[in-house]
A and B are shown apart, each in its own frame.
Chain A
Amino acid sequence: MILNRRALLKATSVSALGLAAPALIRSARADAPIKMAALLDQSGGLDLLGTPMLEATKLAVKEINAGGGLLGRQIDLITYDPQTTIQFYTQFATQAAAGEHVDVVQGGITSASREAIRPVLDRFQTLYFYNTFYEGGVCDSNTFCTGSTPAQTVEKLVPYAMKKWGKKVYVVAADYNYGQITSEWVKKYVRDNGGTTVAVEFFPLDVTNFGPTIKKIEAAKPDFVMSALVGAAHISFYRQYAAVALNKSIPIASTVFTVGGEHTLVAPEESEGMLVSFAYFEEIETPANKKFIADLRANASKKINYVSEVTARSYEGVYLWAEGVRKAGTTERTAVIKALRSPVGVDGPSGKLTIEPKTNHLLQNIYLAEVKNQKLNIVQSFPAQPPTDTLLVCDLNAKPDQATFYFENGLEAAGIK
């Protein structure tokens, strides 16, 4: 496998040299705009997240351009709609990198989409920013993952919920990689904090009838339910759970809820008291955040329901990259990567962000919040949290030529399971 990949890399790097020749010429013209591509779903289901993310990206570009641009050049944002289809992710990534010769690609929502475009952008030597929270484990010198990872959020959420509610935990999760891996982290942190996981159950993404499982939860009588359910169909779980009034006796903590504004999609009493943890909430009380929210809503062409971590991070991701370019004094990829890893930091709506050079992830603030009447009431915050999960397996300082996804198939790499 490894041998094979190496052979592949060798072969592709030869072709990449040939392919990259025009790419090197591209940054030569000083007055030409800097090109940025955004690959975010605007239709087909994941537009639930993709639409506000794109609005935030656009806002950041607009602000930078209004402030005189970057290195005196304007940023030209090229947007693609991959229509919630992996095929289009690869296709548009190829078009952006090999056709438009963009300087940076921002985007990708699911891990599947990221894994589809990451090799393409590696091959065409185009810088990549992935701004969604995910299961952790990407170790790629060309890719910057700015979202929070389980060791940052679950690590805080589980002990807090256990202290508040008790030690018996029932885990429900979406049946795909994020859900599977996150539930492993949940189990680990439950164990580390002296609790027990009663059961773990996985649901295909299109399941809408949760009746049987709710009955099982009722019979198992856990102290609380930990949910990593994802997507529009899974919102049904919270409604059906509240319909049998279980939310009054067995509360829920979630690693995903609120990211698509789910708490505004269900009735107030259905989400009341749920605990969530993210690197950003709309309710953060800082002037920077207030201004960001106001500007975002004022500039958006579409109504934005709730501003969540992925939206704020799409905005901050652009600024992080811009800071790297400014520091490097050029848009040339290796120089920008070097500058980014030196490391750069920005003060965004979520607070101070710094790039963690071993993993190309972020040191970021983590917030714990409780849902109160469809608002998120921040109960605790943790400044500058490192991505400890990815740090277990990844050290780009020691071994820079890596393009691996260590948790692709579970957590063996981190010594878990």
Chain B
Amino acid sequence: MIKGQTNGGLIAIAVIGLAVMFGAPHVLQLFTIINLTTAIGLALLGLSLGLVWGYGGILCLGQTAFFGLGAYAYAVTAQNFGETTGAVVVAMAVGAAVAAALGYFMFYGRISDVYLGVITLTVTLIIFNLLRRTSGPEYKIGKALLGGFNGTTAPPLQIPWDARMTLFPQQLFYVSMGALLLCYFGCVWLTRCHFGRVCIAIRENETRAELLGYDARLYKLGLFSVGGGVAAIGGVLVANGIGRVTPDLFNLTYAAQAIIWVIVGGRGTLLGPVLGAFGVFWLTSWLGTQSYFNSNMVLGLVLILFVLLLPRGVVPAVTELAARWGRRKVGRRERMRARRRGRRRAIQPAE
């Protein structure tokens, strides 16, 4: 079932990723670079959901819980210690630990399918409600006031071990893009190693995998925790991009958007959710700068059309198209040209 990506595809992704990472700050305007940090954070959230849902079959409607907690953990730790490198580590640990705890509760209770989705969503909404409640001065963790609905400041990332130097926007972009690439390839490696292949087996047929002797609960728990950690890194980047963490991070909009990125980009791929996040980010940002259409209406229409016309998502559809195109042509040169064309269209080929 997995589309085995050839190493050529991965190398292409790496090259393009690095090109964007080092090229973008020279080409794009400063504000775009700054705002891209937020987009990259969201893409990491998409990646984490793509991992747990696409490869583990865990329909987590509340992936934002770990994303938001990561952002809050980062902001609170950084405010308390005035140092951000440790805060990033703490954020990751919090995301992964909460995911592990929740995962233990669910997987060892044999909850699955849409019921699992509801539990995760409910947890997110509980956190949302509780955090909005914290606007009084009595709600503080160490030196950091939680600030209720208004949220709290997220100190910008610093150069490691030097609390006086905060990163410039360009440097922040390098860090974000680097984090995205590292997480992406980390996830690719994870899905290809033994652990990942067992997860895929469990996704395909849980009973059969268990009969082969694998403890499905443990594997799901592991995958879910990794997903929580990746989502938390996304939260850290978004906190840096926005400059604040607010309970909004836990609301229904983000939770639903994450699902959308995965579906639009393509479930069962890792690149799809990332591109989906960027695409939707670009679309909603563009909608906010025009005043002809109601933004909600356009976004809604786009979603409906996607589900009806491209149900498997962009990346699998383009991959397949490119492959079919490639087969039809004879002659090596033709094929090369066609593949390049497909590549240009999709930004990346996956086969």
Q: Which residues of A contact B (CB under 8 A)?
A: 1, 3-4, 7-8, 10-12, 15, 19, 42-44, 79-83, 85-88, 90-92, 94-95, 97-99, 110-112, 115-116, 119-120, 175-177, 180-181, 202, 204-205, 408-410, 412, 417
Contacts and interface: CB of A to CB of B under 8 A. Distances in A.
A119 B289 CA distance: 21
A81 B295 contact: yes
B242 interface: yes
Nearest to A42: B291
B296 A86 contact: no
A97 B168 CA distance: 16
B29 interface: yes
B186 interface: no
A344 to B, nearest CB: 30
B281 to A, nearest CB: 9
B285 A116 contact: no
Contacts of A408: 145, 147, 150
B244 interface: yes
B79 A1 contact: yes
6 contacts: A80-B289, A94-B34, A94-B35, A116-B243, A116-B244, A412-B137
A177 B147 contact: yes
Judged by DSSP, the binding face of A is helix
Contacts of B295: 42-44, 81, 83
A91 B289 contact: no
A81 B299 CA distance: 14
B256 to A, nearest CB: 13
B147 A409 contact: yes
Interface string B289-332: 11100111000000000000000000000000000000000000
Interface residues of B, number: 51
Interface string B108-129: 0000000000000000000001
A85 B287 CA distance: 13
B243 A177 contact: no
A120 B163 CA distance: 21
Contacts of A95: 31-32, 35, 289
Contact of A409 (B35, B135, B241): B135
Q: Top 8 nearest A-B pairs by Cβ distance?
A: A176-B149, A410-B137, A99-B31, A98-B31, A11-B166, A409-B145, A4-B82, A112-B150
Contacts of A10: 164
Contacts of A92: 288-289
B38 A91 contact: yes
Contact of A111 (B150, B166, B168, B294): B150
Contacts of B163: 4, 7
A176 B132 contact: yes
Interface string B134-175: 011101100101011111010110000001111011000000
Given A83-B284, A410-B137, A8 B150 contact: no
Given A3-B82, A44-B296, A180-B135, A90 B156 contact: no
B31 A94 contact: yes
Contact of B246 (A86, A175, A180): A86
B336 interface: no
B126 to A, nearest CB: 12
